[in-house]
Amino acid sequence: MATTLPRPDVLPDSASAVVPLASQIRNVWQAPLMLAAPAFTAGILVDRYGSISTPFGLLAVAVFLVAWAVTGNSRYRGLPLIYLGMAIAALGAGYHHSYREVYAADDIGNYAGSEPRPVRVRGVIAEEPTINWHVHGDPLQSMDRPDPTVGVLEISRLHQGHDWIGVSGKARLIIGEHQTGLHVGDEVEAVGRLVAPNGPANPAEFDYADYLRDHRIRAQILVRKTSDGVKLLHQGWPRSVLGWLGVIRAWGQGVIQQSLPAQNSGVATALLLGEGSTMTPSDWDQYLRTGIIHVLAVSGQHLVILAGFLWLMFRVFRIRRRPGALAVALILLAYALLTGGRPPAMRSAVMVCVFCFGILFRHPAMTANSFALGWLVVAGLNPTDIFGSGCLLSFLAVAVLYWGTAGWFASPLDPVDRLVEEARPMWQRVLWWLARQIFLSYLVTFAVWLAVAPLVAGRFHLVSPIAILIGPPVVFFTTIALLSGFLMLFAAAICEPLVPLCAWFVHTSLDLCDFLIHFGQRLPLAYWYVCDIPDWWLWGFYLGLLTWLTVQPLRQFRTLSCFAAFIWIIVGLVGFWLRPGTDEFRCTFLAVGHGGSTVLETPDGRVLLYDAGAMTGPDVTRRQIAPFLWQRGIHRVDEVFLSHADIDHFNGVNALAERFVIGQVTCTPTFAEKNIPGVKQTLNFLETKKIPIRIVRAGDRLSAGPVILEVLHPPARGPDGRENFRSLVLHVRYRENSLLLTGDLEGPGLERVLELPLPKVDVLMAPHHGSRAGDARELANRTSLAVQTQPRVIVSCQGLPKSAPNKPDPYVACGARFLGTWPHGAVSLRTTPAGLVVDTFKSRQQLEFPPE
């Protein structure tokens, strides 16, 4: 991962206000805040993974403070410090519990349930609304969705019956279309549906409800019709600082979109204003895969660049150091808030402000104290932010820079050598200086990449060595784009004729970055995806790394430290590759909404996938399929079966092939014949990846070790008509247990299968997502299928079910347990010596069926 150039802790010409760096390194733990920050963090961790009520936490604070005061004159000098640390930890635990778990009795979250209900509310916009742009015209998208507007509403009134009642709390406001003209501080009335955020429906899926709870949000308001759904009652943003910042950010985004080409405007908006909603998922993926996503998220790098540029300008225009330092501090703080006040930006703003105030008050500033103060400020604003990937990566990179690589930038020349160096011609000195800066940039990039790689792999399942190669030049070009972008915005405000010139520099720099990223992605071993990394291993690695960075005596035992790190890496690799074997057969019906993805794990370690798609689009792989496979330790899919050529059953295959090794893809005889762009794109992509494609038809008998798969449908030709009529039907058998996978089977295809001598199965996949649509004959056929196969469990891979009161449930009389993935989440079945065990992820049910 690339990083900033040396000495980000010291502003130019400010060395007199800073304690010498070597002294700071030796005295890291003598900085008072370096003891307070870990204690406060420990308390937050205790409450996060346990539960410490706020009253208990405050009581513990009082008790430990009393003990600290009583033992202040004790002969045991460390005892008061221990009590003080425990008091700070108790304060952290109580604060985290209060922030995340304590809500008023009238909080809007108490009115939200799992089922949406009509609601009419009034409140004030608490977070600047943004538009979440989608890729339009994507051939792998089932339907062209509108771009919703998303914000946060601080609720004050709720309409109940014929009256308005007072309520409190925040709700996520999601407007189904574009909504402009709303800013922080505006009072609005919204009419929509109130619902609680959904938690994960599959193992390892991102917990959206937990994420919102970290921001004290327990409710969502979904607005369908923009014109009637949200009405502005009072324009309040002019009286709000955040409102003004939101208006300025919207103005800046407009300038960027008007001044730059479409292919650059989204990246430039993310780079300059921290607003990434204008970028497509594919844009984000290429920055993430190459390990340089940090250059887009407004972080410490951005603020250090801005601080250095401002400081240089102030020196050029002979502005005195103390007023200049105050101006830098105020501008950086305003910029951090303008770009969203995210933890990396706030960390950098706090640290730079500390050094600026050190200059202002002529008081030395310790790096360790400023580092710890930045952590405490971030945790104080929101104690849950310290668990975010951006926050952890930012502080980790800075720790490596300050205490791991700072000594590399000291001049290696003694006075005599320096005189010899100064006697050389200017061009030689310039070339030598440039070569040394390039070498140090790559060396620092490599060191920081080594430090953050395990955390990136644990959070994003990615290892990106290409970041070492392209990181420094990308940082250089984004620095040019950043500075010229600032000048472009400044020129747009006071001297518009200069905007095209500045925009050209931004455009050219970003084009060069784009070239490097595309070039880097095509190199061999540029990046690869990995399975889940155990938390215990990450904790051990980073506790050891931070101890080595901050405890100076350990730095003398470099050989021993490297050997210990090597042993710990070997322990992790052994734990990763030597997973315990099992003789179980496991089948998991993932909850992907309206679509399908069924994972078959055989006792000999093979992995088969029946369908990989969803109506929501190809993002199904990133959101649901890939996290589940990584959590199961799967890095190879031996075979993917595509039931038929409907988009919602195969649009995740391309993204799957990007993340996993796929042995082969198996489909029906007519799959390639469907004349839609999505089929062609998928087949071309598989050909590019050199993944073989196999065609199966009724009568084929396949095997995956001890698991037997029989193809029951479709035949080599027909039935004519819709793709659903030719959906692939697989009878999967392992020992005494079997299941029937049907895809979207219906119509003539279902009638043909009913004419076969169907075997008895334990688990039946409900055809066509368990839909009740169709005529009486279709419903009767589905009932006949369930009756003939006599399943114990019927699983329906479905999204939010639509009411069909005039259609009877075709499975109600079959005597089997019906489980839909919408209410129950992922449904997993596994064979055991005691029989068949069925588990549901979301509803936490377990069904056991002994052998017959």
pLDDT for the residue 284: 82
pLDDT tens, residue by residue, 266-313? 889 888 888 877 777 777 888 889 988 877 776 677 888 888 888 888
Instruction: List, as one string, the DSSP characters of 524-572.
Output: TTS-EE-----HHHHHHHHHHHHHHHH-GGGGG-HHHHHHHHHHHHHHH
Closest CA to 651 of 202, 282, 139, 205: 139
- Burial readout 551-574 (b: 16 or more C-beta within 10 A, e: otherwise): eeeebeeeeebeeeeeeeeeebee
Scan for tokens 């074997």, then name that residue.
Answer: 581
Spell out, as residue ranges, where the chain has pLDDT lower than 70.
1-27, 74, 225-227, 298-299, 409-422, 575-581, 773-774, 801-808
What pLDDT is attached to residue 789?
86
Residues in the chain: 852
| Continuous H helices in 649-704 | 653-659, 677-688
- Other C-beta atoms lying within 10 Å of the C-beta of residue 662: 21
Q: How many CA atoms lie within 13 A of 197 on its CB side?
A: 24
Say whether the peptide bond before residue 714 is cis (omega within 30 degrees of 0). yes
Helical packing angle, 747-754 and 776-789, nearest 10°: 30
Give which of 36, 42, 81, 25 is closest to 368, Cα–Cα: 25
- CA triplet 103, 107, 110: central angle to 5 degrees? 100
How far apart are the C-alpha atoms of 836 and 832, rounded to whole Å? 6
pLDDT of residue 6: 35
Interatomic CA distance for residues 499 and 255, integer angstroms: 9
Tokens 């760096």 belong to residue: 21
In angstroms, rounded to a whole number, what is the distance separating the alpha carbons of residues 266 and 274?
A: 10
Task: Quote the pLDDT of residue 638.
Answer: 96
Q: What integer pLDDT is reported at residue 27 of this predicted model?
A: 61
pTM of the entire structure? Answer: 0.90
**Residue owning tokens 């790394």:** 545
H/E stretch holding 305:
helix 300-316
Cα(300)–Cα(370) distance, integer angstroms: 13
Alpha-helical regions (H) of 578-668 = 620, 626-631, 653-659
Q: Is the peptide bond before 719 cis (omega within 30 degrees of 0)?
A: yes
Q: Residue 224: what pLDDT?
A: 82
332-360: per-residue pLDDT in tens?
A: 889 888 888 888 888 888 988 888 888 88
At how many degrees (to 10) do helices 241-259 and 466-494 cross?
A: 100
